[in-house]
Structure 1
Amino acid sequence: MRRHVLTALLALALPVPALAGTPTPLSAGELSVLLKPPAHGVRILAVWALDCAYCEANMQALAKLQRAHPHEVELVTVATESIARSAEIAARLKAMRMDGYPARAYAEASPERIDFLIDPDWGGETPRTEIIRADGRRQGISGELGEAQLRRLL
Structure 2
Amino acid sequence: MKRYLLAGLMAVATSAIAAPPQPLASADVKALVAPPAKGIKVLALWSLDCAYCEENLTALRAYQRQHPDVELIYVATDPAYQRDALEARLKRAGVDDVTSRAYADATPDRLNFMIDPSWGGETPRTLVIHADGSRKAVSGALTPARVADLL
- AA aligned opposite 1:121: S
The Cα RMSD (Å) is 1.4
State which of 58, 61, 65 in structure 2 corresponds to 1:60.
Answer: 58
Taking the aligned partners of 2:27 and 2:145, their CA distance within structure 1 comes to: 34
Structure 2: gaps (5+ residues): 1-14
Question: If the length of structure 2 is used for normalisation, what is the TM-score?
Answer: 0.86
Structure 1: gaps (5+ residues): 1-16
| Overall identity of the aligned pairs, in % | 50
Instruction: Tell me the residue number matched to 1:6.
Output: none
Matched, 1:105 2:102: yes
Question: 1:20·1:103 contact (CA, 8 Å) conserved in 2?
Answer: no
Q: Structure 1 stretch 40-49 or stretch 17-26: which is displaced more? A: 17-26
Taking the aligned partners of 1:47 and 1:83, their CA distance within structure 2 comes to: 14
- AA aligned opposite 1:138: R
Instruction: Tell me the residue number matched to 2:121.
Output: 124
Question: 1:45·1:130 contact (CA, 8 Å) conserved in 2?
Answer: yes
Q: Structure 1 stretch 17-26 or stretch 140-149: which is displaced more? A: 17-26
Instruction: Tell me the residue number matched to 1:145.
Output: 142
State which of 79, 83, 104 in structure 2 corresponds to 1:86.
Answer: 83
Tell me the SS of whatever aligns to 1:109: coil
Tell me the SS of whatever aligns to 2:106: coil
1:27-66 counterparts in 2 under 5 A? 27-66=25-64
Question: If the length of structure 1 is used for normalisation, what is the TM-score?
Answer: 0.84
User: CA offset at residue 151 of structure 1?
Assistant: 1.6
How many equivalent residue pairs? 137
The structure number with the bigger radius of gyration is 2
Tell me the SS of whatever aligns to 2:42: strand
Runs of 4+ residues over 6 Å off in structure 1: none
User: CA offset at residue 120 of structure 1?
Assistant: 1.0
**Per-residue deviation, residues 32-80 of structure 1 (Å, max 9, x unmatched):** 101110011101011100010100111111001100001x201111000
User: CA offset at residue 152 of structure 1?
Assistant: 2.4
Taking the aligned partners of 1:21 and 1:98, their CA distance within structure 2 comes to: 11
Question: 1:46·1:129 contact (CA, 8 Å) conserved in 2?
Answer: yes
Taking the aligned partners of 2:18 and 2:31, their CA distance within structure 1 comes to: 18
Question: 1:129·1:140 contact (CA, 8 Å) conserved in 2?
Answer: yes
